[in-house]
Amino acid sequence: MKEFSNKSAIVTGATSGMGQDIAEGLAALNASVILSGRDHERGSALEARLQGRGHFVPGDIKDPAANKLLVDSARNHRGRLDYVVIAAGELGIGSITDLSIEDWDETIATNLNAVFYLLRYAIPLMLEEDGGSIVVIGSVASHHAFPNHPAYTASKGALPALVKQVARDYGPRIRINLVSPAQVMTPLLHNSVKAFPNPDQILEETAEKLPMQRIGIPGDITNTVIHLLSDGASWITGSDFVVDGGFLAT
């Protein structure tokens, strides 16, 4: 995909899991990637591995200023912004009556407010040039309830409506889509199944129940994200792509 060469991207949640795999995938296509994450050590190591195609900007995306800094970094490094992938996430495990107000606020701030912050700062820079494409990583939790995940399901459940609104307001120059994974082998998944008394058994049983007979891997999501960013998806916007190994069919 030569179209990614010399283009500029921001990827949040880039220091682990799906975000890291997406950042590596874009860099492999010769895009210049602003890497966002809170883990300085992992972020610096990823920047080194990408050999000049990645620039790590540490920060907490719950802070509006951290999102502005990402966009300023894209402007300073490339003078433009073509792609945004919002992949950072927070679980907030606990039933409504057990979950602390602080954990609720942090989960909503990470999974929903931070999406607003980055879009607010990124879209104007994208519109200065040729527009661009945005992918937000959601979850099948917007379609299906999970035990003891109220903050997560609420925050992810808001994203389909937000994505449609942005598609309506900024098309045709900006395309935006949602990718909603089910169980993907990432640190977030391992933290999620801690909501169950038997996490290892839950993972085994989940894989057996899925029509595809396996838990997802980050590359399954990266492939979908890169397609949606590409010109091959030029008539796709405001959509929610469920990538779940058939989870919602069970």
Question: Residue 38 domain-assigned?
Answer: yes
Which entry of 83, 117, 121, 152 is annotated as an active-site residue? 152
- Which residues neighbour 213 within 8 Å (Cβ) at sequence distance 6 or greater? 207
Question: Residue 115 domain-assigned?
Answer: yes
Question: Residue 21 domain-assigned?
Answer: yes
pLDDT at 168 over 70: yes
Write the CATH number for 34: 3.40.50.720
Question: Residue 190 domain-assigned?
Answer: no
Nearest Cα residue to 66 out of 23, 109, 95, 8: 109
Q: What is the pLDDT of residues 185-205, one digit of tens each?
A: 888 777 777 666 777 787 788
Q: What is the pLDDT of residues 25-41, one digit of tens each?
A: 999 999 999 999 999 99
Answer yes or no: pTM beyond 0.85.
Answer: yes
117 is catalytic: no
Residue written as token pair 């808001």:
158
| Other CB atoms within 10 Å distance of the CB of residue 139 | 27
Amino acid at 48: A
d(C-alpha 59, C-alpha 155), whole Å: 21
d(C-alpha 52, C-alpha 65), whole Å: 25
| Residue environment code for 25-46, b if the CB has 16+ CB neighbours within 10 A, otherwise e | bbbebebbbbbbbbeeebbeeb
Three-state secondary structure of 10-22 = EEECCCCHHHHHH
Decide if 1 contacts 30 (C-beta within 8 A).
Answer: no
Question: Residue 233 domain-assigned?
Answer: yes
Query: Average pLDDT, stretch 122-149?
Result: 95
d(C-alpha 32, C-alpha 7), whole Å: 6
pLDDT number for residue 146: 87
Backbone dihedral region for residue 210 (phi beyond 0: left; psi -120 to 50: alpha; all else: beta):
beta
| Other CB atoms within 10 Å distance of the CB of residue 247 | 20
Question: Residue 205 domain-assigned?
Answer: no
Q: What is the pLDDT of residues 99-109, one digit of tens each?
A: 999 999 999 99
Q: Look at the alpha carbons of 239, 241, 247, 250 in this order and tell me if their dihedral is positive or negative.
A: positive
Q: What is the pLDDT of residues 63-84, one digit of tens each?
A: 999 999 999 999 999 999 999 9
Mean pLDDT for all residues in the chain = 95
Amino acid at 79: G
Q: Look at the alpha carbons of 210, 211, 213, 219 in this order and tell me if their dihedral is positive or negative.
A: negative
What domain count does the chain have? 1
pLDDT at 157 over 90: yes
Helix or strand holding residue 85 (H, E): strand 83-86
Query: Average pLDDT, stretch 231-248?
Result: 97
What distances in angstroms separate CA 95 from CA 100, 149, 206, one per listed residue? 9, 7, 21
Residue written as token pair 């999970």:
146
- State the residue range of the domain holding 138: 2-184+217-241
Question: Residue 44 domain-assigned?
Answer: yes
pLDDT number for residue 194: 64
Question: Residue 143 domain-assigned?
Answer: yes
